[in-house]
Amino acid sequence: MSLGPATVARMTDTDYWTSVPDRIVRGSMGLCHLTVSLPPFNVDARSLPPQDPAQARAFAESFEGIEEVLEDLGPRSVLTPLPSSVRADLDIVHAAAWGGMLSIVNPAFATDGNDEPLRSAATALRERLPDARIVGRVAYHGGMEHTEDMVWLPDGATFHASGWPGDEPFVVTGDPHAVIASLELKGWQLDNAGVDLREAANEVEWARLAGLALGPSDPWGWEEMQATAFRVRHSEDAVRDMETLYFV
């Protein structure tokens, strides 16, 4: 099957990239989620309104690191991982809007410790949506695993944990105990999630604690929950950072 001129142009246009579209990606992504939950916070995820592709597109376009949505690639289950085999895959994000729950999965959130893209994106969201719970969970595998996890609650309680699980450096800012108190999490809930703050910071399951902040509204474990895949044009800064991270 031959491709039309517009399709060829879209596949070969590198915009700010210096790497060609079929260049093999180094490393891989695990979680790359940033989720915003507006009140009420106790809604079962499966009872949320259906995915709204137009609102999801607007949410994706609202991020400073995304200049433009170029193409709607259609629905995806939230359990579908982002593609990450070649450079062109890094232009794909998954975004969702289920009423008061907004989420985006973006390869530009990954890091190896040289910057903190998740914290930066969460800070911008906090300014726009001060009444929301903001939860981010990112893991990048590039020989070793680097994680960045964050919770920011409407009352100001927050924590940000970033580093190399099981290794150093690993830095936690904010107050995870204040987050636990604000969420009124019980000891059994922490135990069931495998979260023990008595452990060294680089041994704590921070992504699981972040998941508890979304409670029953956490959409990321349900096959039936739908997001929309978009091909986007990332900003020049985002592309520069991704080229440093994903290519030797």
Chain centroid to CA 135: 9
The pLDDT, as a whole number, for residue 114 is: 80
* 17 is a domain residue: no
The pLDDT, as a whole number, for residue 14 is: 52
Q: What CA–CA distance (Å, rounded) separates 163 from 114?
A: 10
Q: What is the mean pLDDT of residues 3-16?
A: 50
Which of 70, 71, 91, 69 shows the shortest CA–CA distance to 23? 91
Whether 21 contacts 11, CB under 8 Å: yes
Domain that holds residue 144: 32-217+226-246
Secondary structure in 3-state letters for 68-123: EEEEEEEEEECCCCCCCCEHHHHHEEEEEEECCEEEEECHHHCCCCCCCHHHHHHH
Q: What is the mean pLDDT of residues 181-201?
A: 96
Q: Is pLDDT above 50 for 57?
A: yes
* 24 is a domain residue: no
Q: Is pLDDT above 90 for 139?
A: yes
Start-to-end Cα distance in the chain: 34
* 55 is a domain residue: yes
60-109 pLDDT, tens digit each? 999 989 999 999 999 999 999 999 899 999 999 999 999 999 999 999 99
Which of 71, 106, 88, 95 shows the shortest CA–CA distance to 15? 88
* 10 is a domain residue: no
The pLDDT, as a whole number, for residue 11 is: 44
Q: Is pLDDT above 50 for 2?
A: no
User: Which residue is associated with the tokens 């991270």?
Assistant: 245
User: Which residue is associated with the tokens 């907004």?
Assistant: 102
The pLDDT, as a whole number, for residue 7 is: 44
Chain centroid to CA 116: 12
**Helix 206-214 and helix 176-183, axial crossing angle in degrees, nearest 10:** 30
Categorize the per-residue pLDDT at 4 as very low, low, confident or very high, splitting at 50, 70 and 90.
Answer: very low
Quote the number of domains for the chain.
1
Q: What is the mean pLDDT of residues 185-205?
A: 96
* 3 is a domain residue: no
Q: What CA–CA distance (Å, rounded) separates 69 from 91?
A: 10
* 14 is a domain residue: no
The pLDDT, as a whole number, for residue 12 is: 43
* 2 is a domain residue: no
Q: Is pLDDT above 60 for 235?
A: yes
Residue 192 identity: N
Q: In what order do the strands lie in the sheet with 66-77?
A: 66-77, 226-234, 92-98, 101-105, 28-37, 133-142, 144-152, 158-163, 170-174
* 4 is a domain residue: no
Confidence (pTM): 0.91
Give CA separation, 36 vs 55, 121, 136, 161, 163, in Å. Answer: 13, 11, 9, 18, 23
User: Which residue is associated with the tokens 């726009």?
Assistant: 128
